[in-house]
Structure 1
Amino acid sequence: MQFTLFEAVIWSLVIVLAIIIVILIFYLKILRRNIRVKEKNNIKYREKIEKLLIEYIYAEEEGELLSIKQKAIIKQFKKGLVSKRKRIIITETFLQLDQQVAGHMIEQMNSLYKKIGLLNYAIKKLRSKQWHIVAIGIKDLRHFKVKRVRNSISKLINHHREEVRREAHLYFIELFGFEGLNFLDNLKVPLSEWDQILLLGEVENFEYDETLDLKKWLESNNDYVVLFVLNIVKLFNRLETKDTLIDLLQHKNAEIRIKTIDIITHFEILEAKEFIIQRFSEISDKEKVAFFKYLEKVAEIEDAMFLIEHVNNTNFEIKHRALKILKRVDVNLYNKLEKNSEDAEYNRIIDYLDVSYGV
């Protein structure tokens, strides 16, 4: 049977594609086999490293800097570091086991980390052009509490990648405690809300240093630093920052002003009341709501006339709080208020307060 040229080309392509498919199937089978073998070898080597680490920890001999067995184990580790694959496994195993030991064992692990040369590889990562490698390097150094690279990591606190900055910030907090907060002096980039939560989580674990000067950071040009330090002020009840807090009520950043009102409410700083009342018409609605939350704690009978001015405020929350506070500080004046207004919200609030707190 005669094939046309077109049919011949089609059949040739079909045969070629069939051969390619067969080759790919064999290649995938070989690839899967190699992956399984590699994973099996990795598990076997990881088990070996875990065993060596445990043996090293318990091979310590009294009066000896390093026992004969420990020296032999160090040689095995150094031999494994030549392979990148094995080096990764050794590092991961160190990190995993270090979280399961305590006390003197942690010191032994940190010492071994340096002795076998893993420290040098971690420091080398700081010079990588790949941001994720840099972040891993900082994390390793932080985990094994390597303080002598402080100057190198200080250059990374304003890194263009948030992940690298986060690791650098945690490094200073975890290794140097409140002294580590000095990295804030040179911080020029944003400090995300998530970063602040992480850092505050670490700060909470420390015994507070009464000599720490928070004022310089409350006056920082970096708004993110100011917001972060305001959280520290509240966390550790640093009432001596009162004057600086009152100054922050005029800050250009509304978020800082709102946060400051929250701190002032926490401390119940009376000096702030008249200051805010005088500029009440200039501040945002969010600030006004925050201020009325503050008044719920500190308002007195002399504030009754100010409260009267806002019982018909267009903002429901301000209106509700003004009526609620007025009923508390001057019930006689509250009882003289009109009980049935054209404002339905006003009427509902009055009804609620009268039922909840008694007419």
Structure 2
Amino acid sequence: MQLQFLHINLISVFEYTAGMLDVMLVFFDSFKMFFERIHSFIEYIFERLPYNVLNRLIIYMIIGFFTALVLLLPSILFSKLYITYRKNKKKLLIQKYSKLVVRFLIDDLSDKELSDLKRIKSKFHRKVITSVLIAIDTAENKVVSNQIRTLYLDMKLNEDSSRKLRKRWHHKIRGIRELSHMRVKKDNKYIMDFLQKPNEILRIESQLGLIKLLPFVPFAFLDSQEKPFTVWEQINVFDLIRKNRIEIPEFTLWLDHWNDSVVMFCLDMIRILKQRESVPKLMELLNHENDLVKGKVIRTLVDLESKEAVVKLKELFVLEELPNQINIIRSIGQLRLESEMDFLVKKSNDEEFKIRMECCKSLALIGESGQEKLKVLAENGDEELKRIIKHVLDPRI
């Protein structure tokens, strides 16, 4: 009986194989006929065209483009269909896993369902689950956040995130975001290495990630900041400070940093956050060798309303370049220091037009006493000074 059954199965296999061979032969015959007709068509055209190398080249180019179109069209259609399929599948999976995660949070998930969830191996499914966990997580609710982090670790999704750090830069960024959101610190040292990469986007994500991963020393990355700390990076870091409850350090800690871009960032933070206790350290920086840093120090001292800094600034006036001289004069007006009006009157006779203009503006800012001084100057001053004072005192400006 078994031999008969085996015999029948063998006959079925042979018949199936024979049938497949017949189909393949028919296909190859059709393919051969198609190319023979194309060849005949080309020969037909060449016979009726005058013999010319250019004519033949054009015909071959047309045939090449047509063949490429025939080959590419199915692949384009297939890729479009595949992308649509993946998008729809992802949407359905997001709905499915969102419900499961919510049920997990309210303790409505059975042990079997939880076990099945943890056993998922598909990379695509695990990627969707990670995005769902991050989307549901809310920083305001610590209980929910801790539960989601526990599920993330139990499913070993952190290992998937860690592996992304070894791939191309856009995968690295995704890995950093996932690990920092879930507060997984195992790869901190690896993320810190990205601070020295030339890719600016990767550096920004590394900085933001480390701020979240190092809550007690969130700006420790500044210590090892070798690359220029760009304005775009600074904006992103400040935005993260503004949106999250991050402990603000004393930015004077990095005012001696050898990287001037880091120093300038710290000066901006001191100015924005009004860290007035930084004034003594800022006074030391007035002798900084970089004029851009020095100019920002002056503006910071003015914004911190440090009147004691004005005496020091006046001493440096003659030694400074024009931009810093203008900042010093501007600081007197912004602080409305009546005691410094004589200094402004004296400098209003300077040969440099910009200095004269700033002196007059600062006198006007001081108030009525400063405006009275301007009127006296207008009576005895030269034509240029009279025009400047008229412009400054114009009520329409």
TM-score range, shorter chain: 0.7 to 0.9
Distance 1:316 1:95, change over 3 A: farther
CA-CA distance at 1:30 after TM superposition? 4.0
CA-CA distance at 1:119 after TM superposition? 0.3
SS at match of 2:379: coil
- Contact 2:330/2:359 (<8 A) preserved: no
Tell me how far apart the structure 2 counterparts of residues 305 and 318 of structure 1 sit (CA, whole Å): 15
Distance 1:114 1:348, change over 3 A: same
Match of 1:51 among 89, 93, 99: 99
Q: Which residues in structure 2 correspond to 1:249-264 (within 5 Å)?
A: 249-264=286-301
- Contact 2:378/2:389 (<8 A) preserved: no
Q: Which residues in structure 2 correspond to 1:8-27 (within 5 Å)?
A: 21-27=69-75
SS at match of 2:185: coil
TM-score (norm 1): 0.81
* Unmatched 5+ stretches in structure 2: 1-39, 49-54
Tell me how far apart the structure 2 counterparts of residues 270 and 208 of structure 1 sit (CA, whole Å): 29
Tell me how far apart the structure 1 counterparts of residues 356 and 77 of structure 2 sit (CA, whole Å): 73
2:176 matched to 1:138? Answer: yes
- Contact 1:156/1:165 (<8 A) preserved: yes
More displaced stretch, 187-196 vs 312-321: 312-321
Distance 1:280 1:18, change over 3 A: closer
Match of 1:323 among 349, 353, 360: 360
Q: 1:150 matched to which residue of 2?
A: 188
CA-CA distance at 1:108 after TM superposition? 1.4
Distance 1:74 1:292, change over 3 A: farther
Tell me how far apart the structure 2 counterparts of residues 13 and 186 of structure 1 sit (CA, whole Å): 58
Q: Higher relative contact order at CA 8 Å, sep ≥6: structure 1 or structure 2?
A: 1
Q: 1:337 matched to which residue of 2?
A: 377
Higher normalized helix content (fraction of residues): 2
SS at match of 2:214: helix
CA-CA distance at 1:42 after TM superposition? 2.6
Distance 1:325 1:30, change over 3 A: closer
SS at match of 2:377: coil
2:276 matched to 1:239? Answer: yes
TM-score (norm 2): 0.74
Q: 1:225 matched to which residue of 2?
A: 262
Q: 1:113 matched to which residue of 2?
A: 152
Distance 1:105 1:320, change over 3 A: same
Structure 1 residues 213-253: Cα deviation after superposition (integer angstroms, max 9, x where no partner)? 54331111111211121123223332222221011112122
2:114 is aligned with what amino acid? Answer: I
Match of 1:92 among 109, 117, 131: 131
Tell me how far apart the structure 1 counterparts of residues 68 and 337 of structure 2 sit (CA, whole Å): 87
Tell me how far apart the structure 2 counterparts of residues 330 and 267 of structure 1 sit (CA, whole Å): 22
Q: 1:189 matched to which residue of 2?
A: 227
2:119 matched to 1:78? Answer: yes
Match of 1:35 among 83, 87, 93: 83
- Contact 2:330/2:362 (<8 A) preserved: no
1:124 is aligned with what amino acid? Answer: R
- State the percentage of identical aligned residues: 23
- Contact 1:56/1:70 (<8 A) preserved: no
CA-CA distance at 1:299 after TM superposition? 5.5
